[in-house]
Copies of this chain bind each other. A is one copy, B any other.
Amino acid sequence: MDWLGPAEWEAVRLSLRVAAVAVAASLPPGIFVAYALARWRFPGHGLLNGLVHLPLILPPVVTGYLLLLGFGPQGPVGGVLEAVGLPVAFRWTGAALAAAIMAFPLMVRAIRLSIEAVDPGLERAAATLGASRVWVFLTVTLPLTLPGIIAGAILAFAKAMGEFGATITFVSNIPGETRTVPSAIYAFLQVPGGEDAAVRLVLVSVGVAMAALVLSEWLARAVARRVGSA
C-alpha cells in the first residue's frame, strides 16, 4: 500500500488507535447505561435516554464546543483530568473522548436492544440459584447479550473512525496526536487539487468501516448460533 504517504499512514494508525481506545473505554459505561435503560424504571429514564442520544442529534461542532468548555485546559473536568495525569486537551486521548461520545448512542442502542431480548426468566432462575444481581448480570445477562455488544462495539468503532466535527473542534488537528483520517480528508478537500489524496483516505475509511460491519454481522450471527435457543 505504498500509495499512502507516511503522513497518511500516520493518520490511519492514529485513527485506529483512537477508535479502539474510544470503544474499549466506552464499552463498560455503555453496557451499564444500556442495562439501566432496558431493565430499570426510574425518574429521569426519558431524560437519560435523551442525553445519551444528544450527540447523534446535535451538530458535531456544538458537541465539540461543549467538550472544549468542559474538558479543555480551562474546563472544570479538564483541570481535574490534567491534575490526575490524564490530560485530554489537544491529545489523542481527547480525540478518543470525542469519538467515544459521538459513537455512544449507537453503541447503547444496539446493546439495549439485545438486553431487552434476554428472557428475564433466566435471570430470575440464576437468582434462585444464589447469584446476586451483579453475578446474575456477569454470568447470564452479559454472555447472552454478547452478539449485541459485539455488534454495538463494532458499529461504534466504525463511527469513531469517521468522527470529524467534534474531534477537530475539541482537540484540533495535531499531526501524530489528533490528526485522524477524517481531519486529513477535510484538509485535503480544502485545497484545490487535493481530491486525489482525499479519495485515497476515503477509500481506506470505507474499507475499514465495511470490514467492521461485515465482521460485526458475522460475529453476531456466530455468537447467536453458539448461544443457541434454549
Alpha-carbon distance between A53 and B106 when the two chains are bound, in angstroms: 12
Q: Which residues of B are found within 8 Å of A49, using beta-carbon distances?
A: 213-214, 217
Find residues 39-70 in chain A having any chain B CB closer than 8 Å to their own CB: 46-47, 49-50, 53-54, 56-62, 65
Report which A residues bind B (CB closer than 8 A). Answer: 46-47, 49-50, 53-54, 56-62, 65, 106, 109, 113, 155, 158-159, 161-165, 182, 185-186, 189, 198, 202, 205-206, 209-210, 213-214, 217
Q: Is the CB of B50 within 8 A of A213?
A: yes
Q: Which residues of B are found within 8 Å of A198, using beta-carbon distances?
A: 62
Q: Is the CB of A210 within 8 A of B61?
A: no
Q: Which residues of B are found within 8 Å of A53, using beta-carbon distances?
A: 155, 158, 209, 213
- 29 A–B contacts, CB within 8 A, in A order: A46-B213, A47-B210, A50-B210, A50-B213, A50-B214, A53-B209, A54-B206, A54-B209, A56-B106, A56-B155, A56-B158, A56-B159, A57-B159, A57-B206, A58-B162, A58-B205, A58-B206, A59-B163, A59-B165, A59-B185, A59-B205, A60-B165, A61-B186, A61-B189, A62-B185, A62-B202, A65-B189, A113-B113, A165-B165
Q: Which residues of B are found within 8 Å of A57, using beta-carbon distances?
A: 158-159, 161-162, 205-206, 209
Closest to A65 in B: B189
Q: Is the CB of A209 within 8 A of B50?
A: yes
Q: Which residues of B are found within 8 Å of A162, using beta-carbon distances?
A: 56-59
Q: How far is the CB of A43 from chain B (nearest CB, A)?
A: 13
Q: Which residues of B are found within 8 Å of A163, using beta-carbon distances?
A: 59
Closest to A199 in B: B62
Q: Which residues of B are found within 8 Å of A109, using beta-carbon distances?
A: 109
Q: How far is the CB of A135 from chain B (nearest CB, A)?
A: 29
Q: Which residues of B are found within 8 Å of A164, using beta-carbon distances?
A: 59-61, 165
Q: Which residues of B are found within 8 Å of A209, using beta-carbon distances?
A: 50, 53-54, 57-58
